[in-house]
Structure 1
Amino acid sequence: MERMRRLWVNLFGGWFRLSRRFSPALLDEMAAAIAAGERTHLGEIRFAVESRLAPADVLGGLDAPTRARQLFAQLRVWDTEHNSGVLLYVLMAEHRIEVVADRGIAAEVLAEAWSAICARMRGCYAGGEWRAGSLAGIAAAVLLERHFPGDGKANPDELSDHPVLL
């Protein structure tokens, strides 16, 4: 029954509003916020928004956590010098937000901290505040500042700061 509900929302949910909710101006603002945060810590943040999953994937059992881990690998978030990559993943059709942190960060930051960030983003998104929710997730970089502070030297940008729309 759950799989059929998920299929329904991936087929007919509000996924088609992707470009209205994540305008080019908002994407640029998000990229700037990611870049600004990365100047204060050694982490690397990627933000990916997917409108929906393909029907065959839903029927095959693909869920948001699994898809987030796939994208973590596909976008090479794991490929950072300090093992400090973080993927913020939003699946619009299912109203799901997942955070996948590389092993260096996962060893330092508890899952509950990421859950709190997801809850804050979800609350903003539910109220139609797409900008506020997205920037709140990016502002979670304060966790990276605490656990992976910058050393005052130039920190090379290992991953693109621009959000990915799928």
Structure 2
Amino acid sequence: MRLTRLLRHLLLPDWWLLRPFSRRLLQRIEEAVVASEATHLGELRLVVEGNLPLASVWRDQTPRMRAIELFAQLGVWDTECNSGVLIYLQLIDRRVEIVADRGIDACLGQPFWDAVCRQMEGAFQSGDFENGTLRALETISTALRDHFPALSANPDELPNAPLLL
């Protein structure tokens, strides 16, 4: 555990960290997820987290490990077509992680997800949270439309609204 990381997670208030995600932006993200999921079989879940729980910081949990933990806790893995995708934004650590269920990951692979993560991180570094998030959703939607186009039965299995932790 690094002391600077611990202090950042303890001292920076959530309201300060989450301020780029206004109600308007959260609504736009939700609308983008709804529109996206209408075109493919994937199920998208976006989670934005300010401070990690103290126990997570203490055991030096990486953003990747946290994303995998949330992937399981939120049931993103439990979709009918194994098509869940968790987009996890860890604001203090300035990291984006994407965890995709095995059905989707087998087609797209980790290099695709890593490229989307780095694209988002680049936009966030310049303060462009809105375009960074919406462009990433469009990139993911295009890939899912190509590999998992919507069928006549396309149930909405996960909440579409971004989750703020």
Same fold (TM over 0.5): yes
Between the aligned partners of 2:19 and 2:60, the Cα distance in structure 1 is 29
Q: Which residue of 1 aligns with 2:67?
A: 68
Shift of 1:161: 0.6
Q: Give the counterpart letter for 1:142 in structure 2.
A: T
Shift of 1:17: 2.2
Kept after mapping to 1: 8 A contact 2:120/2:133: yes
Q: Give the counterpart letter for 1:145 in structure 2.
A: R
Between the aligned partners of 1:61 and 1:158, the Cα distance in structure 2 is 32
Deviations 1:89-110 (A, max 9, x none): 0000000100000010111112
**TM-score normalised per structure 1:** 0.92
The runs of at least 4 aligned residues of structure 1 exceeding 6 Å deviation read none
**TM-score normalised per structure 2:** 0.93
Shift of 1:52: 1.4
Between the aligned partners of 1:36 and 1:87, the Cα distance in structure 2 is 17
Between the aligned partners of 2:125 and 2:149, the Cα distance in structure 1 is 32
Shift of 1:29: 0.5
Structure 2: unaligned runs, 5 residues or longer? none
Shift of 1:65: 0.8
Q: Which residue of 2 aligns with 1:110?
A: 109
Q: Give the counterpart letter for 2:96 in structure 1.
A: I
Between the aligned partners of 1:13 and 1:91, the Cα distance in structure 2 is 13
Between the aligned partners of 2:24 and 2:128, the Cα distance in structure 1 is 15
Q: Which residue of 1 aligns with 2:143?
A: 143
Structure 2 CA distance for partners of 1:110 and 1:154, relative to 1, 3 Å? same
Shift of 1:146: 1.4
For the aligned residue pairs, the C-alpha RMSD in angstroms reads: 1.5
Deviations 1:126-158 (A, max 9, x none): 11111111112211221111111112x241111
Q: Percent of pairs identical after alignment?
A: 44
Q: Give the counterpart letter for 2:112 in structure 1.
A: A
Aligned residues: 164
Between the aligned partners of 1:129 and 1:13, the Cα distance in structure 2 is 20
Structure 2 CA distance for partners of 1:63 and 1:5, relative to 1, 3 Å? same
Q: Give the counterpart letter for 1:147 in structure 2.
A: H
